Amino acid sequence: MPSRSIATRIALAAALVAAAGARLNAADDLPKAETILDRFVEVTGGRGAYEKTHSEIATGSMEIVGMGIQGKVSLYSAEPNQSLTEIEITGIGKILEGTDGKVAWSLSAMQGPRLKEGEEKSMTLREARFNGHVHWRDLYKQAETAALESVDGQECYKVVLTPAEGNPVTRYFDKQSGLLVKSVMTVKSPMGDIAVESAESDYRKEGGLLMAHKILQKAASQQIAFTVESVKFNAEIPKEKFEAPDEVKALMRK
């Protein structure tokens, strides 16, 4: 955030320009957020292609950069808002996180079973919405184009999405290609609020959709690199896959 003196100087300059009757080249000159968000849907395959997909299974690998810790990742998702993430980390064990659309939970070798509540649960359900990029209007009460900024040398539109509950999500879309290149959000966790930044790259076609195959995530002073290796659309996923594990069900009965 700019310092108060800089913000004041900018405000004074804007007032002078307005008084002179000149047109200020600011947010009014930027595309509307809905235009940017809908363009992303189009450049990655179009609404029709998204609506033909009803489930997804993605597999890949992960690495905590600079620590030599690696693992395998499997992501399962189905409409309307069911999801399961499985991460198997060598020498540490499994991390599971999911929702059946009603209950949101996590289970790990480090923290054990846990039910999510409040804003954390709301975020999990929101992120689990299948084809969420198409249905962003249902997920956020407000979308605003905040600025044109450089991200690793690329001119990007900064779009701020505000949900009904929880912190805003900021996404950066490449001005030329329309692709999403970075997301910034604050995630609720047992350790408190954690700022998470995700850089998306290596877009490739899977079926009729263009998808990022490399994601570099920065959180809690760590960098975690994810690589997508395979994607299957419309594969049959048993309903039981999204049910909470027995350890979590035990918490639900208490």
pTM: 0.86
- Per-residue confidence band for 254, with pLDDT thresholds at 50, 70 and 90: confident
- Calculate the average pLDDT of the chain: 89
What average pLDDT score do residues 93-118 get?
Answer: 93
Token couple for 45: 């395959």
Q: Is the pLDDT of residue 22 over 50?
A: no
Is the pLDDT score of 98 beyond 60?
yes
Tokens of 4: 């108060």
Mean pLDDT of 40-60: 97
CATH architecture designation of domain 30-253? Clam (2.50)
**Closest C-alpha to 181, from 216, 140, 218, 225:** 216
Is the pLDDT assigned to residue 112 strictly greater than 80?
A: yes
pLDDT, average across residues 49-57: 97
- The tokens for 86 are 């499985």
- 162: which residues sit within 8 A by CB, 6+ positions away? 140, 141, 142, 143, 144, 168
Q: Are 223 and 69 in contact (CB under 8 A)?
A: no
125 pLDDT band (50/70/90 cuts)?
Answer: very high
Residues sharing a CB contact under 8 Å with residue 68, sequence separation 6 or more, in sequence order: none
Q: What percent of the chain stands above pLDDT 70? A: 89
Q: How far apart are CA 166 and CA 55, in angstroms?
A: 27
What local confidence, expressed as pLDDT, does residue 248 receive? 95
pLDDT of residue 109: 82
Q: Quick one: which of 182, 242, 232, 229 has its CA closest to 71?
A: 229
Instruction: Kindly state the tokens that stand for 7.
Output: 């913000």
Looking at beta carbons, which pairs linking 144-149 to residues 24 or more positions away fall under 8 Å?
Answer: 144/33, 145/27, 145/30, 145/31, 145/32, 145/33, 145/36, 146/27, 146/170, 147/27, 147/30, 148/30, 148/175
The residues that bridge with 195 in the sheet, in sequence order, are 186
